Amino acid sequence: MATRRLPPLRSLEAFVRIVRLGSAKAAANELALSPSALSRRVTALEDFVGKKLFLRQHQAMKLTEDGQSLFDAVAPALDELAEKIGTHMGDSRLLRLRLAVMPLFAAQRLVPRMRELRRLYPALHIDMESSSHPVPRLGDTLDAAIILSDGPDPSLHMVQLDQNRVHAIASTELVAMLGDTPDPDLLAKQNFLVHSDMERSFEAWRKAAGLLPRHRPTVDHYDSGPLILEAAAQGLGVAIMHGDHLSRSNDARLAPLYDLEVESPYSYWFVCRPRALENRQVRIFHDWLVNAKL
């Protein structure tokens, strides 16, 4: 019986990465390829299957129906292949978890408890990164992630890790200047520091503080919680963050602004693909994290 030819694995990998990351540029960076090299791999796959997989529109690449069908068939098989190969690589006694986690959660809540995890499971090692949009890479280059989200994604296994309140945080000097009671006209003259992924937190806080649509304070966006805290400590503006970010920072330069009860639209969540829980390293970390109540 003749063996059926398979397409080049690198072409399949490039195809799946583009779809999951939603961008040819991001996929090229992830694979350390030039845009032209990535394009050649996709073209080779299209030539092999004899079908157009993407519609190319300027910088965007949109899946065709044939492309979507191929992705649905191939991506799970590649994930399974990667898992099986992983079990035969290196020292089988080591369990390695590829985890994405937001920097402030890692610094304030996860890393301080890692020695406890290591004592319980000395074979578990964690490759940790702080990528800003990890979900498309779950099941590919990441096993799991800890993210800020405003609600569950039915395609993922998600565990809510907290329920927080939104606080305004500023330097002690700025807090003293702004007083104990919100003054919308005075607040409208301030600069606010907001995480790029937490815009709704700022909207919730400004409503509670009495800022109207006519009040238009300036807003600087950051993609890093530690940078926001440091900018606030340096007097660059009022940071809109979760309350425990301040209490865990132990930074005497910072203080809460006003005593407002504002429920956050966002929580920290542990997320992974449902099938990832079949992997021992993911299951160990998942169960420890849920019970540890960081």
User: Exposed, middle or buried: residue 7 (CB in 10 Å: 0-12, 13-18, 19+)?
Assistant: middle
Least confident residue range of 1-5, 45-49, 172-176 = 1-5
DSSP 8-state code for residue 138: B
Predicted confidence (pLDDT) per residue in 60-81, tens digit:
778 899 989 998 888 888 877 7
For position 75, what pLDDT does the model report?
84
Q: Catalogue all structural domains in the chain, each as residue range(s) with its CATH number.
A: 9-79 (1.10.10.10), 95-163+267-292 (3.40.190.10), 166-257 (3.40.190.10)
Residue with tokens 């992705």: 71
Over pLDDT 90: what percentage of the chain? 45
For position 258, what pLDDT does the model report?
93
Residue 1 predicted with pLDDT over 60:
no
Over pLDDT 70: what percentage of the chain? 93
273 Rama class: left (phi>0) / alpha (psi -120 to 50) / beta: beta
pLDDT band at residue 93 using 50, 70 and 90 as cut-offs: low
